[in-house]
Each structure stands twice: as structure tokens, then as C-alpha cells.
């Protein structure tokens, strides 16, 4: 009844989607790497299922179970009456759910790739997507994830109800591949395994090469990975040298206007030539010139303390779950020591995969 391809797809996709939901909603941002790996697996599974829906066995092919509205209504009436018509393959409502899962999960993968490129500046679209578009895609990504979670609940409830009403174990059938025979004759269509294997394998290989090539392109709106040597030397002499992209130009101008009374009252005075040089570098590389998440979010400052990055609403939100004792560790030193936990802090990108709290 259910061939090995359909069963492997089903029992691989199910835990993968659950893991995506867990890492997307409950796990910390440092789990992004796992989320992306599982997302890539889901994308490959969806591609396989589309190919198998054309070249697989009879009951795997879309043409054998794509339902019409009238069929769905008829089957729903049978369920409500407690006497649903039995189907050897997917019943109309089950078929509708299968198609719904394929469409919604595909949209989740697509929106995830777009948001990864626009917000995190990673993946094949990092060179093309802006932050604003990435944020919209991320919102869609989250909404669709909630939709698929609801669909999972409906699917499990439907399987349980159909199993009771038809007196056949649908879960066992998806494990063993067998269902009790029906009197109606169903002709058998042999799956084109070799052709499907070539298409799936070739398609995944080509996609991997293409994705890797696109991912190597420079990300859009990302500041240079290395800071100006003079900036690093002068600012880094006493504390972490914050990339200029982490604050708007107005903040940097205010800092350079009163170096004699620097943070904590320290005298950080520099020669007029150095001040002019560093101010020009800060103006040219301030947050307004870049499209990273940090550059956008850190533009919103605390009116009571606009010069301090740890006072910004975004910093407080992202670090709300970290206890003060963590910042007091010798390996960290202070809340402003970004490079103690963010391995790429000097670049201003703050990738989730680069977070390692001592």
C-alpha cells in the first residue's frame, strides 16, 4: 500500500518538523545552526516528495489522491455521521492535509531562506535581501510555523478519529505499508525509481553547489570585517573597540565632543588631528550606513543614556535572560565587553552561531 519512499518521507519529516518548531520557538539563538541543518533536510524531503508524487507508486502520485471540493464535502459528511467511506489510499480530507503540508512547509522554507539573508546576512540570498524585507519574511516564517503546528494537531486528531470510525490502524499502516484489501480493484503503477533517484540526487547536488556559490557572495549592507587600525588602537586601548556601525553618527559625534569626560569620568582626550580622523571614520561607518540587524536595532537609543549601548532597548531585550553574575565573571568583565561572548563582535554582525558565553 504505502511504499518505502512514502514511509521514509513521512517518518523523517515528522521529527524534523517537530525539531524545527522546538529550535525556532523554545531554543536559544545559539541553536540556529541546528535549525538551519534541519531546515535543509526538510527542504530536501519536500523536493523528494514532489518528485515522488509524479514518479512514485500509484498511491504516492498526486494524480491518484488530489481531491475535489465535492469529494471533501462528501467525506466530511460521512465523518460527521460516523460512517466515513473507506479509502485504500488517502481519503479526501487526508489528501487535502498532505497537499497543505507540502505547500505550507515549502513556504516556511522559502521565508526562512529570505529572512536568513535579510536579517542574519547569511545563506544564498544574503547578497540580495535587505533587512526590512528579511524582517517581513521572518514574520511570515513565524506565522506559518504556528499554522503548521495547528495542522499537526488537526492531522493527529484526524488520524485518530478515522482509525476509530473505520476500525483500521492508520498509524500502523504508515509503518508497515499495509492496509486490509478492498473489494474494489486498484491497478498498480510501478514507481520509476531510477529516474526519480537521478532527478532527486541531481537536483539536490545542483542546489547545494548553487547555494554554496551564492552564499560566498558579499552580503548586502554589511560593514567591513576589519576595523580601521587607528580606531582599533585608540578605542581598544581601554575597552572593546565598538564598530562604528553599532551607533548612529549623532552618538559618535557626542562622544568625540567630550572625550575629556568619557564614560565613568575618564579623560580620553586625543590630539585634534586624531579626533578629526576618528570622527570622520565614525561618520562614514555609523549605523545609518549599514543594513545589519545590529545597525538597525541599535539606532534606537535610551533618551536618558543615549551613548551607552547596554542601555538600548534592543540590548536589554536580548540579554534579559542573562544573570548579572555572568557579566561579573573574570572571563567577561562587564556588560559592555561584547567580544567576551560574541566571537564576531568586532565585525558588527553578531551572528547567533558565534555566541559562546563563558
Question: pLDDT by residue (tens digit) across 201-260?
Answer: 999 999 999 999 999 999 999 999 899 999 999 999 888 999 999 999 999 999 999 998
Same domain, 199 and 240: no
* CATH code, domain with 160: 1.20.950
- Round to whole Å and give the CA distance between 225 and 72: 56
Instruction: Indicate whether 181 and 294 sit together in one domain.
Output: no
The answer to whether position 33 is within a domain reads yes
Task: Supply the pLDDT for residue 184.
Answer: 58
* Host domain of residue 289: 229-354
Alpha carbon distance 147, 45 (integer Å): 19
Q: What is the pLDDT of residue 88?
A: 73
| Domains: count for the chain | 2
* 236 and 201 co-located in one domain: no
Same domain, 244 and 132: no
On whether residue 221 sits in a domain, the answer given is no
User: Alpha-carbon distance 276 to 66, whole Å?
Assistant: 70
Domain boundary residue among 191, 215, 239?
215
Query: According to the 3-state scheme, what is the secondary structure of 132-181?
Result: HHHHHHHHHHHHHHHHHHHHHHHHHHHHHHHHHHHCCCHHHHHHHCCCCC
Q: Tell me: pLDDT of 347 over 90.
A: yes
pLDDT of residue 75: 76
Tell me the sheet residues that pair with 342: 355
- Which residues neighbour 177 within 8 Å (Cβ) at sequence distance 6 or greater? 1, 2, 3, 4, 7
**pTM: predicted TM-score of the whole model, two decimal places:** 0.90
| CA contacts within 13 A on the Cβ side of 48 | 19
222 assigned to some structural domain: no
Same domain, residue pair 164 and 88? yes
- Is 220 among the domain residues? no
Same domain (yes/no): 105, 43: yes
- C-alpha 311/C-alpha 235 separation (Å) is 20
Model pLDDT, residue 146:
98
**Is the same domain home to 237 and 350?**
yes
Are 144 and 260 in the same domain?
Answer: no
Residues 33 and 165 in one domain: yes
Q: Based on the domain organization, do 166 and 282 belong to the same domain?
A: no
Q: Which of 5-9, 146-150, 173-177, 197-201 has the lowest mean pLDDT?
A: 173-177
Residues 236, 156, single domain; the answer is: no
23 falls within a domain: yes
Amino acid at each position: 500500500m504505502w511504499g518505502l519512499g512514502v514511509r521514509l518521507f513521512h517518518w523523517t519529516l515528522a521529527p524534523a518538523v517537530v525539531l524545527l518548531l522546538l529550535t525556532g520557538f523554545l531554543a536559544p539563538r545559539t541553536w540556529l545552526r541546528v535549525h538551519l541543518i534541519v531546515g535543509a533536510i526538510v527542504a530536501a524531503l519536500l523536493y523528494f516528495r514532489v518528485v515522488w508524487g509524479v514518479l512514485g507508486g500509484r498511491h504516492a502520485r498526486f494524480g491518484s489522491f488530489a481531491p475535489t471540493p465535492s469529494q471533501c464535502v462528501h467525506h466530511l459528511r460521512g465523518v460527521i455521521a460516523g460512517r466515513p467511506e473507506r479509502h485504500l489510499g488517502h481519503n479526501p480530507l487526508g489528501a487535502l492535509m498532505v497537499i497543505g503540508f507540502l505547500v505550507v512547509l515549502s513556504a516556511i522554507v522559502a521565508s526562512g531562506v529570505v529572512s536568513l539573508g535579510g536579517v542574519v546576512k547569511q545563506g544564498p540570498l544574503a547578497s540580495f535581501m535587505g533587512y526590512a524585507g528579511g524582517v517581513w519574511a521572518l514574520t511570515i516564517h513565524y506565522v506559518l510555523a504556528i499554522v503548521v503546528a495547528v495542522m499537526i494537531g488537526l492531522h493527529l486528531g484526524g488520524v485518530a478519529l478515522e482509525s476509530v470510525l473505520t476500525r483500521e490502524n492508520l498509524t500502523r499502516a504508515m509503518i508497515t505499508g499495509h492496509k486490509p484489501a478492498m473489494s474494489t480493484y486498484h491497478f498498480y503503477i510501478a514507481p520509476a525509481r531510477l529516474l526519480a533517484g537521478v532527478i532527486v540526487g541531481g537536483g539536490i547536488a545542483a542546489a547545494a553547489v548553487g547555494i554554496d556559490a551564492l552564499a560566498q557572495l558579499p552580503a548586502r549592507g554589511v560593514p567591513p570585517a576589519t576595523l580601521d587600525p587607528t580606531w582599533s588602537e585608540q578605542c581598544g586601548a581601554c575597552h572593546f573597540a565598538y564598530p562604528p556601525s553599532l551607533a548612529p553618527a549623532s552618538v559618535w559625534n557626542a562622544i568625540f565632543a567630550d572625550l575629556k569626560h568619557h564614560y565613568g569620568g575618564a579623560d580620553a582626550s586625543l590630539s585634534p588631528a586624531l579626533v578629526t580622523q576618528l570622527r570622520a571614520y565614525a561618520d562614514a561607518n555609523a549605523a545609518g550606513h549599514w543594513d545589519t540587524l545590529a545597525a538597525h536595532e541599535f539606532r534606537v537609543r535610551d533618551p536618558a543614556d543615549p551613548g551607552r549601548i547596554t542601555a538600548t532597548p534592543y540590548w536589554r531585550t536580548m540579554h534579559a535572560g542573562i544573570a548579572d553574575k555572568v557579566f561579573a565573571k573574570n572571563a567577561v568583565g562587564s556588560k559592555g565587553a561584547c567580544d567576551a561572548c560574541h566571537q564576531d563582535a568586532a565585525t558588527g554582525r553578531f551572528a547567533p552561531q558565534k555566541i559562546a558565553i563563558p
